[in-house]
Amino acid sequence: MSGPGPLSGLRVLEVGHILAGPYATMLLADLGAQVTKVEPPGGDLSRQVSDAYFASLNRGKRSVRLDLAAPEGQERLHELVRGADALLVNLKPSAVHRYGLTYEALKHWNERLVCVALTGWGMDAGDQPAFDYVIQAAVGIAALTGEPEGPPQLPGYSSADNSAGLAAALGLLAQVVSGRGGQVDVSLRDVMLSQLNYHAAAWLNDGATPRRLGGAHAYYVPAQLFPTADGHLALFITHDAFWRVFATEAGIDGYTTMAERAAHREEVVAAVTEALATDTAAGWEARLRPLHVPAAAVRSLPEALTEASDTIVEAGGHRLVGSPFRIAGYGPVYGAPPRLGEHGDAV
């Protein structure tokens, strides 16, 4: 069953490149919003990566090609603004101002327009480069990731860009719901610091500096990846009931309280490592899941997608992961990614 999308009737303009901004507006398009990419003469830079890369961030959108540095491009932009509910811009602050993409610059054409600026460090912080991995290094994420005695590490995907895209989409919708036009600023720095919530609170309130624990959780023990007889297992024991069930299955005695396990982290990890070495990761997953103990064998992405085939959709001849939002009575129609300038040119 599929009715109108929950965002049907919402008209959003997007100006930006690559990932964070386009991901934000694609999520809105999946929910029924009409999203128009305002692309420069050469197009969104992600078009140069690959067709599949571009499609993964831009399915179901329209494309208008404008030279915003030219009077004709500005004139066409203002026409689009008159009929839009929101504008999301993912450029460096100087470009946002130079092209007149703020609420102050555009309210003359539409006082109810919601303008979202998605930048690396904030609109008042200048044009310091702010790519995903740079932000992760700068805010402390890389320092928390990796083995205790090894170098800092980064995850294998663009967590800062994707997280900031989600936050920008939320900020845009919040201001739209208010019924008022205005400016919303979202920065990758602020989003990722927000996601370090309990780590930040520990230092700000108790002076506790977070440690690199090889991917282990800072508070829960055992909660990390463990080697097994074949493969690795993610085990996440958050409270004592989980521990009792797991310890019985694994043949481990003692450490019955969360406080005791935290105080004897190395001993607990060693005991769990020894126990898990007696079976494979897949074997432990099969044993622990019926017991409702949080555990999963580490899978490759191809393995995960094969198992989660219900998440895969087709859009314009591309197989992609669909919207993460499942809404009763609504099934997204995944349109093709637009050709550059397919819906208008003012170059």
Show the 3-state SS of 186-236.
EEHHHHHHHHCHHHHHHHHHHCCCCCCCCCCCCCCCCEEEEECCCCEEEEE
Question: Does 190 qualify as catalytic in the annotation?
Answer: no
Q: Specify burial of residue 2 (Cβ count, 10 A radius: 0-12, 13-18, 19+).
A: exposed
Which residue pairs, CB below 8 angstroms and at least 24 apart, start in 198-206? 199/140, 199/144
Active-site option among 85, 161, 190, 310: 161
Rounded CA-CA distance 16/91 in Å is 6
- For residues 89 and 21, is the Cβ–Cβ distance under 8 A? yes
Residue 171 CA: distances (Å) to CA of 118, 124, 166, 324: 10, 18, 9, 18
Catalytic residues: 161
